[in-house]
């Protein structure tokens, strides 16, 4: 397998080489933590935050074994017999868009006869999370970023064994995607009120936007000769998504 060729720019703060891969747009220097917009070479001028990881490669096994040992659906000997084959800590880049989103809609309500046309607005506030990577296998909608624990980005808190991924998405793209995803979410919510939507227009009012790195553990384990995957939140020690071997009764 050939690795993608990394390119390099010079950190404009400390002069160290900052490597980045094709497609990456914002890069963080691993020597001084300075964050640069690759295309322009300028400093990233928005808030960059970090969620702290609370586990080491040994201690992450404790909450995982607790998870394996709880619940009805798991084999009773899972926590005892599972063998860890991979424990990778990755700081994934996210955009958190705090918005007030308002959808104005017109739809047809068919549950009564004759059907009627209904109009209305749906307005909600969100801290909407956008994963700033194209291909990462991560269930963003199942992950609740523990925002209360965020600190200003501090490269000294990134463990030597961890990997920090750069953003492949700029701020404008993240805002567009937020609007599109909230529009889809509102269409889903509106199914309660109307059976068919004729018109919908979703506007977002951006209150705040944060670029954030969050600690996610990608775990693989072996149980009875099969391999399984787990995605664990390194800030809270809770599972984001996990494969469970089928319990046999």
Cα dihedral 68/213/97/218 (nearest 10):
-30
Q: Does 13 bind Zn ion (CB under 5 A)?
A: yes
Task: Give least dist CB 29 to Zn ion, A.
Answer: 3
Q: Which stretch binds Zn ion (CB under 5 A): 7-15, 61-69, 220-228, 240-248?
A: 7-15
Q: Which stretch binds Zn ion (CB under 5 A): 3-11, 38-46, 72-80, 226-234?
A: 3-11
Task: Give least dist CB 88 to Zn ion, A.
Answer: 24
Contact (CB, 8 A) for 194 and 216? no
CA-to-CA dists, residue 122 to 185, 208, 212, 238, angstroms:
11, 21, 28, 32
Residue of 6, 8, 10, 14 that binds Zn ion (CB under 5 A)? 14
- Dihedral sign computed on CA atoms, order 6, 132, 232, 240: negative
238: three-class secondary structure by DSSP: strand
* CA gap 44, 171 in Å, rounded: 10
Contact (CB, 8 A) for 4 and 166? no
Residue of 11, 27, 175, 239 that binds Zn ion (CB under 5 A)? 11
Residue of 26, 29, 209, 239 that binds Zn ion (CB under 5 A)? 29
Q: Does 32 bind Zn ion (CB under 5 A)?
A: yes
Give me 12's structure tokens. 């404009």
Our CB check for Zn ion shows the closer of 32 and 206 to be 32
* CA gap 179, 184 in Å, rounded: 9
Task: Give least dist CB 32 to Zn ion, A.
Answer: 3
Q: Which stretch binds Zn ion (CB under 5 A): 10-18, 20-28, 40-48, 145-153?
A: 10-18
x/- letters, 178..217, toward Zn ion (CB under 5 A): ----------------------------------------
CA-to-CA dists, residue 210 to 95, 229, 237, angstroms:
6, 29, 23
Our CB check for Zn ion shows the closer of 15 and 71 to be 15
Which residues in the 128-187 window bind Zn ion by CB under 5 A?
A: none
Task: Give least dist CB 156 to Zn ion, A.
Answer: 12
CA-to-CA dists, residue 137 to 131, 132, 140, 153, 229, angstroms:
10, 12, 9, 24, 11
Task: Give least dist CB 212 to Zn ion, A.
Answer: 19
Residue 175, number of CB atoms within 10 A of its CB = 18
Our CB check for Zn ion shows the closer of 155 and 228 to be 155
- Would you tell me which residues interact with Zn ion (CB under 5 A)? 11, 13-14, 16, 29, 31-32, 34
């Amino acid at each position: 397998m050939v690795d993608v060729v990394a390119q390099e720019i010079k950190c404009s703060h400390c002069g160290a080489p900052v490597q980045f891969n094709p497609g990456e747009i914002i890069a963080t220097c691993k020597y001084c933590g300075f964050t640069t917009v690759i295309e322009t070479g300028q400093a990233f001028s928005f808030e960059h935050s970090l969620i702290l990881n609370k586990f080491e490669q040994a201690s992450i096994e404790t909450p995982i074994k607790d998870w394996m040992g709880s619940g009805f659906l798991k084999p009773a000997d899972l926590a005892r017999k599972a063998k860890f084959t991979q424990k990778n800590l990755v700081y994934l880049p996210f955009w958190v868009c705090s918005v007030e989103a308002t959808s104005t809609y017109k739809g047809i309500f068919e549950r009564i006869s004759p059907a009627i046309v209904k109009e209305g607005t749906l307005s909600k506030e969100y801290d909407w999370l956008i994963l700033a990577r194209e291909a990462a296998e991560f269930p963003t909608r199942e992950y609740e970023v523990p925002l209360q624990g965020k600190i200003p980005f501090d490269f000294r808190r990134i463990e030597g064994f961890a990997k920090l991924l750069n953003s492949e998405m700029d701020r404008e793209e993240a805002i567009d995607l937020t609007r599109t995803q909230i529009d889809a979410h509102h269409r889903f919510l509106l199914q309660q009120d109307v059976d068919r939507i004729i018109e919908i227009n979703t506007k977002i009012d951006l209150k705040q936007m944060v670029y954030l790195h969050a600690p996610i553990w990608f775990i693989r384990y072996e149980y009875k000769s099969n391999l399984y995957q787990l995605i664990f939140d390194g800030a809270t020690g809770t599972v984001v998504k996990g494969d469970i071997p089928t319990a046999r009764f």
